[in-house]
Structure 1
Amino acid sequence: MKYKYQSFMDEIWNQFPGLSDKESTDLTDHNILWSLDEYMAAGYVNFTTGPKELYRLSILLENYAVKHRAPLLATFETEKRYKYVEGRYVEILKKVPKAWIIGNFNNPLLAPLPPQTTEVVSCDGTNISDMWIVVTRGPEGPFGLVAEDIGDRMYRGFFSISPIVTGKVIQTINEALRINIDLSK
């Protein structure tokens, strides 16, 4: 795939003029305690934040996928970041019908091997390598968080329940990696 922008976030925001201009929500203040229902009620939230807040939101999305037996897409910037959550993910992957684990790592290093319902894909050399993405399927379609590592342990990105916006994220990943992520099943 030929990118117009170096940044994955800029590729997505370019498709939806105005979304990047929405006011950024401070996830480090009172909003850190939002439930997933509150994020979903907000619909779309821009943020610049650290890993602690993204980790919490990721867990909310992963728990939703498990509870609703929904497919799950998760990206990891490095093998180390996957190893940090590996124990929890081994259990999650047993409980969801389908999962895609995408990371800037070598697949053989993912041990124990994930269930057959999980696809492990390397994104090395693409602009997905700096992304923290956790997406699942909700009542209206795919939704989740999309954030880009901007350095100094900070991320910029968004949470969206829009199947159109989140679908564009998935489509962009599919085109870049030549895979077929389909959260509709």
Structure 2
Amino acid sequence: MDEIWSQFSGLSDWELTDLTDHNILWSLDDYVKAGYVNFKTGTKELYRLSILLENYAVKHNEPLLATFETEKRYKYVEDRYVEILKKVPKAWIIGNFNNAVLAPQPPKATEVVSCDGTNISDMWIVVTRGPEGPFGLVAEDIGDRMYRGFFSISPIVIGKAIQTINEALRISIDMSKKE
């Protein structure tokens, strides 16, 4: 998180948005209208935002990038992800996997990458592509099932997160082109 925030003066200082306010359930449109949102929140809220982004990718036939801190976290959503991966044109599944070969085997348009031993292993990232470019959530595990991070529609900010992943894992995620 700090590496990304250090590239954009002031973003880490933006006011935190309470995603746990039970009177308000943000839609993806609400996040997009906000443009940029800093948060410190639990897994329930991030899980909900992740589903909104995944549903967008499926509905609009856009690529999807998702990270998982552990194999167990992937296994929790595996059935849903098997269906998602059949419906998106390209996907990158990155996780702190002991074995990067997931069962059942994902479609050919899916790359599965282990981030074991890197600074990506404690990140919760879900990114897809919108009309302006990549957008989504980037958060890091700060312990006790809490995360700090942000949602952004800025292709420049999300692009920096993707560049950081590419450099750390020596891979090439490119969400700028249609597959």
Range of TM-score over shorter length = over 0.9
Mean Cα deviation higher: 93-102 or 27-36: 27-36
Tell me the distance in 2 between the aligned counterparts of 1:161 and 1:31.
24
- The alpha-carbon deviation at position 184 of structure 1 amounts to 1.5
| Counterpart in the other structure of 2:83 | 91
Q: Secondary structure at the match of 2:46?
A: helix
| Counterpart in the other structure of 1:22 | 14
Is residue 28–residue 53 contact of structure 1 (8 Å, CA) maintained in 2? yes
Give yes or no for the alignment of 1:137 onto 2:129. yes
Give yes or no for the alignment of 1:113 onto 2:105. yes
| Counterpart in the other structure of 1:53 | 45
Q: Secondary structure at the match of 1:107?
A: coil
Q: Percent identical across equivalent pairs?
A: 88
Give yes or no for the alignment of 1:41 onto 2:30. no
Moved over 4 A (4+): none
Mean Cα deviation higher: 111-120 or 21-30: 21-30
Is residue 142–residue 162 contact of structure 1 (8 Å, CA) maintained in 2? yes
RMSD of aligned alpha carbons:
0.9
Stretches of structure 2 lacking an aligned partner (at least 5 in a row): none
Normalised TM-score (structure 1): 0.94
Is residue 32–residue 53 contact of structure 1 (8 Å, CA) maintained in 2? no
- The alpha-carbon deviation at position 107 of structure 1 amounts to 1.1
Normalised TM-score (structure 2): 0.97
- The alpha-carbon deviation at position 16 of structure 1 amounts to 0.7
| Letter paired with 1:178 | R
Matched residue pairs, number? 176
| Counterpart in the other structure of 1:66 | 58
Q: Secondary structure at the match of 1:49?
A: strand
* CA offsets 1:141-163 (integer angstroms, 9 cap, x no match): 00000000000010000000000
Give yes or no for the alignment of 1:180 onto 2:172. yes
Tell me the distance in 2 between the aligned counterparts of 1:52 and 1:142.
23
Q: Secondary structure at the match of 1:183?
A: coil
